[in-house]
Amino acid sequence: MLLTSYRLGNLILPNRLVMAPMTRARATVDGSPVASTATYYAQRATAGLIVTEGTHPNEVGQAGPFMPGIHNAAQVAAWRVVTDAVHANGGRIFAQLMHGGRIGHVEVAGHEPVAPSAIAARTDVFLPSGVVPAPVPRALSVGEIREQAQAFGDAARRAVEAGFDGVELHGANGYLIQQFLSSSANLRTDSYGGSINGRIRFAVEAAEAAVDAIGADRVGIRLSPGGQVQDIVENEMPSLYAALLKALPDMAYIHVLATVDDEVLMGLRKAWPTAFILNPGGQIGPNESTREQGERWLANGADLISYGRAYLGNPDLVERFRLGLPLVSTDRETWFQTEAGYVDHPSYQH
C-alpha cells in the first residue's frame, strides 16, 4: 500500500510516503534557505509529499540559529528557488510553520522568547556558539496571543506566494502550539489556559488563521500527543486531543507522531475526518523507521506514513522500498549545520 497513490486535498500523491520535517540548520544568518537547500529537497521529490524543516512565521518565533523563516520578501524569494526545484522534479512540498515560543533565545531571534506563561523549559537551546539553558520567556498578553495566532495565517499566505503547495502547522515537540496545550508550560487562568477548552484555543485559532488565508485543502497540523520533548506535560491527554480534533477547522490532514500507545492513536484516527498521516518513529531516536512499520499503520487505518531519519541518507527512499534495497544510516554529527551530510548522499548505485 505504501507505493499506491492517494488524493490529498487537490494534490494527487504518487505514493503514500511523506518526507517528515527535520531541522537541518543550514539557512543564512537572516533566515533564507540557500542554493543547496533547493538541491536537498529536489533530490527527494519522489516522495508523495515533502514537508520542510520548521520555518519560523515571524521574527520572535525563531527557535535556533541558521533556521529558515518565511516572514519577509527575501525569504519568500529564496524559498521560491526551492519550490521551483522540487516542482521541476515532479514533487509536491508543504512548508512547516514552526513558532519556537519559549524554545529560543534573544541572541538568536533578536527578541525575548514568548510563551503562554513565564516558565522556562528544563532543556537547552542552541546559540551559534553552543548550547545554553533555555531562558525564562515573557508571558504573552491576550492581544499578543491573537497576533501570534494570526502570524500563522500571514506566513501561510507568504508560503503560497513562495510556491508551496500548502503548509503544516507545527503543533508538536514542545514548540509554541504545544506549549499552549501543555499543563506544565501553560499556567494561564484566562481564556487561553486552565480548562481543556482554554488550552486548545490557541491551536484552533492558529489553524483557523491559516485556513482562512489559503484554504482548508492546503493546511495540515502536526501533533505529538503525550510527547514529552522539551519539557512538556499534558494532563488529561486523551480528552485534550479528542477535544482538539473536534474543534479544529476542516483541514487537509493531521500528522501524528507515535508518541502514545496504539489505542489512543487509533482513537484519533477514527475521530479525524480527513487524511491521517502517521509517523511511526515517535520520540526522537537513533533508528530509521521501516517499510514494515509503515505498512502496519496503513493496514490500521492511516492514509500516509511519514519518514524522517530514513530520508536523510536515502533521497531515493521510495525506490529503495520499491526494490527492497538496503538503507543508508547517517552520522548524527552531520544532521545540523555541516557542509557534509546534506546533499552528498547518492541514490542507490546498482
56: DSSP letter: B
From the list 175, 241, 307, 342, the catalytic residue is 175
Domain of 193 in residue numbering reads as: 6-334
In a domain, 111, yes or no: yes
Cell numbers of 156, please?
501561510
In a domain, 347, yes or no: no
Q: How far is CA 249 from CA 210, 211, 221, 234, 243, in A?
A: 10, 8, 11, 22, 12
What's the half-sphere exposure (Cβ side, CA atoms, 13 Å) at 246? 9
How far apart are the C-alpha atoms of 4 and 46, rounded to whole Å?
Answer: 13
In a domain, 339, yes or no: no
pLDDT in tens, the chain (350 residues): 999 999 999 999 999 999 999 988 898 999 999 999 999 999 999 999 999 999 999 999 999 999 999 999 999 999 999 999 999 999 999 999 999 999 999 999 999 999 999 999 999 999 988 899 999 999 999 999 999 999 999 999 999 999 999 999 999 999 999 999 999 999 999 999 999 999 999 999 999 999 999 999 999 999 999 999 999 999 999 999 999 999 999 999 999 999 999 999 999 999 999 999 999 986 665 567 888 898 999 999 999 999 988 999 899 999 999 999 989 887 767 776 677 778 888 887 76
DSSP β-bridge partners for residue 278? 256, 305
In a domain, 344, yes or no: no
In a domain, 190, yes or no: yes
Query: For position 76, which CATH number holds?
Result: 3.20.20.70
pLDDT value of residue 336: 67
Place of cell 479528542: 242
Q: Tell which residue, 135, 143, 94, 96, has the closest CA to residue 118.
A: 135
The pTM of this model reads: 0.96
What angle do helix axes 262-271 and 237-247 make, rounded to 10 degrees?
20
Neighbours of 246 (CB within 10 A): 11
pLDDT value of residue 319: 96
Count of domains forming the chain: 1
pLDDT value of residue 284: 60
pLDDT value of residue 350: 64
In a domain, 211, yes or no: yes
In a domain, 318, yes or no: yes
255 neighbors 306 (Cβ within 8 angstroms): yes
Place of cell 519556537: 100
Q: What is the DSSP string of 208-234?
A: HHHHHHH-GGGEEEEE-TT--TTT---
In a domain, 53, yes or no: yes
Place of cell 526494490: 323
How far apart are the C-alpha atoms of 39 and 35, rounded to whole Å?
Answer: 7
DSSP β-bridge partners for residue 222? 170, 255
Is 192 one of the annotated active-site residues of the chain?
no
Q: Tell which residue, 42, 37, 40, 46, has the closest CA to residue 17.
A: 46
pLDDT value of residue 347: 84
Per-residue burial over 12-25, b = 16 or more CB atoms within 10 Å of its CB, e = otherwise: ebbbbbbbbbbbbe
How far apart are the C-alpha atoms of 288 and 20, rounded to whole Å?
Answer: 12
